Amino acid sequence: MKAGYFIIQKAGKLVGLVSLLCLLILSNTTDLQAEDTFELGMILPVLEEPITLVLNGGNQQTGRVTKWDGESIRIEVSLGGGGAELSFSKDDIKQIIFPGNEFLKTLDEWQQDLAQTENAMALYRAYYQQRGPYFTLMSESELSLFVRYAEYALEKKKPLRAVAMIDAISPHIKEAAVLDRLKEGMLLGFFQGGMRNEAEAKAIDWIKEADPSGPSALGWRLLAQSKYENGEYEKAFWTALIPVTFSNQMPKAHLDVCYALAILSAEELHLKEEPDRLAKEMHDRGFTWPDYIEILKGKAPEAFTIEVAPKLPGETEAELSLEEAPIQNPSPVDPIEELPTRINF
């Protein structure tokens, strides 16, 4: 493979771009006002009420934050008829109790209601604006709210908002499984948001760390899809084929799309046997054609559009060899050594 096969973007440029997204997408309060309903309008003022600091000794102080620099926090508290400002080091703070937790149930209900999508998104953003500055003082269970925000934004076709949220929350997450989800979300967000150069760079990084026989084929899928859309069918074919080759009977996310991209790329390359062979294998393994991907819609091969007749005595040797030598290898001896030699990441 030529040295210029993949282009890696400079890390500084990518970090700067994501930071700009965070500033523009997560800090903008205009949409909150535009999307207000009566119920949302009742919730938002509650989120602006004073917070409560729970200190390591068990004492609590409630007040409005007047300063927070990442190391110490200053709040204004009411004392009888007057007030005072109290300062605390972040090391003295056990927990922050934010007003508005009672509306998390409302947020869950809005997420399940398609008619409330805009209100759910607005409430997520309001929670971020309330709590985002204090991520370093929050537990991972509390931060899970914003992991859900990123995943909801992806689901609702707001990929750049998801990218910004993932960039903001990832430095504060330690659990490996959650970080893996966020990495995949970042990759999908770049891709769905039309930032294809960034998506390819992230996909290559993802692939370098991934096991080709692991539970997800996302990096290969997005890289193959990008190459297919650009008319680079040979690169798309070999890239999509890697997770297919090393898949087994365990579930593997995005494998259906990899099969489909390999089939269509093989057709574009005018390969004789591979399209039908892959289509039959994909169908026999119980996959349906992924019409939910726009470039694949309406392109299902005959294996998915006609009923396959039962096998009859006297099948040809070609048919038998097709069944006996699937492209998918359920148990490679060494996945790295078995990789197709045409691909070099």
DSSP 98-112: -TTGGGHHHHHHHHT
φ/ψ of residue 171, rounded to 5: -60, -15
Q: How confident is the model over 127-186, as pLDDT tens digits?
A: 999 999 999 999 999 999 999 999 999 999 999 999 999 999 999 999 999 999 999 999
DSSP 38-105: HHHHHHHHHHTSPEEEEETTS-EEEEEEEEE-SSEEEEEEEETTEEEEEEEEGGGEEEEE-TTGGGHH
CA atoms within 13 A of residue 180's CA, in its CB half-sphere: 13
**Contact assessment for residue 130 and residue 98, using Cβ atoms and an 8 Å cutoff:** yes
Whether residue 324 has pLDDT greater than 70: no
Q: What is the pLDDT of residue 251?
A: 87
Segments making up each domain of the chain, as ranges: 9-49+99-195, 51-97, 210-345
Which sign does the torsion angle of CA 147, 181, 120, 128 carry? positive
Q: How confident is the model over 107-128, as pLDDT tens digits?
A: 999 999 999 999 999 999 999 9
Whether residue 12 has pLDDT greater than 70: no
Q: What is the pLDDT of residue 80?
A: 75
**What percent of the chain has a predicted confidence (pLDDT) above 90?**
70
Confidence of residue 304 (pLDDT cuts 50, 70, 90): confident
Q: How confident is the model over 198-235, as pLDDT tens digits?
A: 899 999 999 999 999 999 999 999 999 999 999 999 99
> CA 269 → CA 231, 236, 264, 275, distances in Å?
10, 10, 9, 10
Q: Which residues pair with 86 in a beta bridge?
A: 75
Is residue 253 helix, strand or coil?
Answer: strand
Q: How confident is the model over 36-52, as pLDDT tens digits?
A: 565 899 999 999 999 99
Q: What is the pLDDT of residue 314?
A: 57
Q: Which residue has the tokens 């009859």?
A: 312
Q: What is the pLDDT of residue 303?
A: 82
